[in-house]
Amino acid sequence: MADILLALEMIADPLNLLGLVFGVAVGIAFGCMPGLSVNMGLALLFPLTFSFKGVGGILMLLGIYCGAIYGGSISAILLKTPGTPASVATTLDGYPMATALKQPGRALGLSTMASTFGGIFSTVCLIILAPQLAKVALQFSKPEYFALAIFGLSIITSVSSGSVIKGLMGGLIGLFLATVGIDAMSGAVRFTLDTTYLLGGVSFIPVLIGVFAFAQVLGSIEDYYHHKVSGGELAIDRVIPSWSDMKRVFVTLLRSSCIGTFIGCVPGTGGDIASFVSYDQAKRWSKHRDNFGNGEPEGIVASESGNNAVSGGAFIPVLTLGIPGDGATAIMMGALMVQGLRPGPLLFVEKAPDVYAIFIGLLLANIIMGVLGFSLIKLFIKVVKVPIHFLLPIITMMTFVGTYSYNNSLNDVYLMVASGCLGYVLNKLGFSMSAVIIGIILGGMVEQNFVGSLIMSDGSFAIFFTRPLCLFFLAAAALSLCGPLLAKVWGKKA
């Protein structure tokens, strides 16, 4: 109880509350502008977290995370251009409702209500499930942690990238980058190219801003050449959903929230998968399945509650096991580590007030998102229409300033530009940047637990194959990596 009171005290700090509201508003703005992404918003504002005390910066990032997933639905509904991949399914019914049925307010209201419900539902699941899972994870030792990290990496590389091998190569490069600097176990100085800059390792934040923000800027410049987005004028009617709509969509809302929360728990998945699975299930079970694709309220609600429910689910493996599920949660995990909070089961024992503050913060972020969504929807519609040729130069400057302000180092800026250019090319070639970032984040944990396990076993690799949980995670990792290949062989035989 004392921990919860301490957490409430942290949240009640006016600066932290302001950060949370600011984060949600910025997140919605980033989400609703096509060409900007959740990861970009998180990466760009990451350096601002150092200006907050304690978990204040994390709360701001939580706000951005929740707000951006929801924000994607605004442009999906009004422009048929989803602001984030998670909102692609929302265009299927949102855009017809806004244009063919001439009810944009109804569509936006349903999406706001569904997003808020999905987010709150998954946060409640996180609050209930995470401490229980952390208790189980407390039994883990070094070999289990090593196997778990390998499993997390394998599933991310196999799901998040178009090609398993390319995902794996990205993850391996990330793991290698994490070895640069002073080795924590032996004290040896590795791969620093005789520079003092690399003694502390490859700086995580410039790489993060480079591959997620600067590379995205480059991608947007390319997209702008092909497709200049311009929205038509739509008059907004009432945005509060009617009672008949609420009754019609309630079961879909619950089902999709459960699906989104479950999918969010699985590393390597994300809002896009959750929204499509939720949409598909809603269509399968609906009495109005023939209306799907023509502005069906259940279609909007399924997609939006599904993708926002991912937010709470995705934090379960991050907080309890220290395994980020995608790029966004990897950034959040990086922010936690920078603030001295090492995600994992011990976090629940050593820093319980901070964990409760994160829980309450996520809950509040979803509530604030709903309030802002209903009250300021007309403002966000204006944001959707800000021309990208005004936005991109400013965002480009923010990538430079954000990177420089982290360490007051121009070397960081050079690293950011190099990572961004490389990230752009690798994105074109089908590599997953999330795999690289997750590799960098998990690199230290993987190596230390690998070495620690071998010390425990006097150098015998049998330790990884004789402990049941460890063997289970390693077998699951092998299966997830070889799964696509086996599926192909199986398909050919059939």
Partner 1 sequence: MLSMALCNYIVSIIGGAIGACIMAAAASFPMDFTENGPGPGFWPFALGLCLLLAALVLAVTTWTERETLEKTKVRLIAAANKRVYVMMGLAAVFCLLISLLGFYVAAFFLIIAVMRLMDYHKKKGLFITACAALLFIYLVFGLLLHTQLPGSVFLE
Q: How far is the CB of 10 from partner 1 (least distance, A)?
A: 21
| Per-residue exposure over 232-266, b if at least 16 CB sit within 10 Å of its own CB, e if not | eebebeebebeeebeebbeebbebbbbbbbbbbbb
Closest to partner 1 by CB, 190 vs 378, is: 190
Closest to partner 1 by CB, 87 vs 157, is: 157
Q: How far is the CB of 438 from partner 1 (least distance, A)?
A: 15
Closest to partner 1 by CB, 173 vs 254, is: 173
Among the listed residues 55, 47, 48, 45, the one whose alpha carbon sits nearest the alpha carbon of residue 17 = 55
Spatial separation of the C-alpha atoms in residues 411 and 402, rounded to whole Å = 13
Q: How far is the CB of 227 from partner 1 (least distance, A)?
A: 10
The two three-digit tokens of residue 425, written as one number = 């090319």
Q: How far is the CB of 326 from partner 1 (least distance, A)?
A: 21
Spatial separation of the C-alpha atoms in residues 232 and 135, rounded to whole Å = 53
Closest to partner 1 by CB, 90 vs 157, is: 157
Q: How far is the CB of 301 from partner 1 (least distance, A)?
A: 36
Which residues, in sequence order, are CB contacts of 245 under 8 Å at separation 6+? 106, 110, 297
Closest to partner 1 by CB, 300 vs 398, is: 398
Length of the chain: 494
- Which amino acid, 213? A
Closest to partner 1 by CB, 320 vs 432, is: 432
Among the listed residues 402, 340, 268, the one whose alpha carbon sits nearest the alpha carbon of residue 54 = 340
Closest to partner 1 by CB, 141 vs 294, is: 141
Q: How far is the CB of 294 from partner 1 (least distance, A)?
A: 33
| Per-residue exposure over 269-302, b if at least 16 CB sit within 10 Å of its own CB, e if not | bbbbbbbbbbbbbbbeebeeeebbeebbbbbbbb
Instruction: Catalog residues that contact partner 1 under the rule CB under 8 A.
Output: 48, 51, 163, 165-166, 168-169, 172-173, 175-176, 179, 183, 185-186, 188, 190-191, 214, 217-219, 221-226, 388-390, 392-394, 396-398, 400-401, 404-405, 408, 410, 413-414, 417, 420-421, 424-425, 428-430, 447, 450-452, 454-455, 459
DSSP assignment string, 29-54: HHHHSTT--HHHHHHHHGGGGGGSST
Closest to partner 1 by CB, 252 vs 449, is: 449
Q: How far is the CB of 416 from partner 1 (least distance, A)?
A: 9
Closest to partner 1 by CB, 376 vs 482, is: 482
Among the listed residues 78, 104, 80, the one whose alpha carbon sits nearest the alpha carbon of residue 92 = 80
Closest to partner 1 by CB, 136 vs 485, is: 485
Question: Beta partners for 181?
Answer: 190
Q: What are phi and psi of 405, to 5 degrees?
A: -65, -20
Q: What is the largest CA-CA distance in the chain?
A: 72
Q: How far is the CB of 285 from partner 1 (least distance, A)?
A: 36
C-alpha torsion sign, points 445, 269, 57, 83: positive
Spatial separation of the C-alpha atoms in residues 200 and 262, rounded to whole Å = 38
Q: How far is the CB of 106 from partner 1 (least distance, A)?
A: 35
The two three-digit tokens of residue 5, written as one number = 């009171």
Q: How far is the CB of 4 from partner 1 (least distance, A)?
A: 32
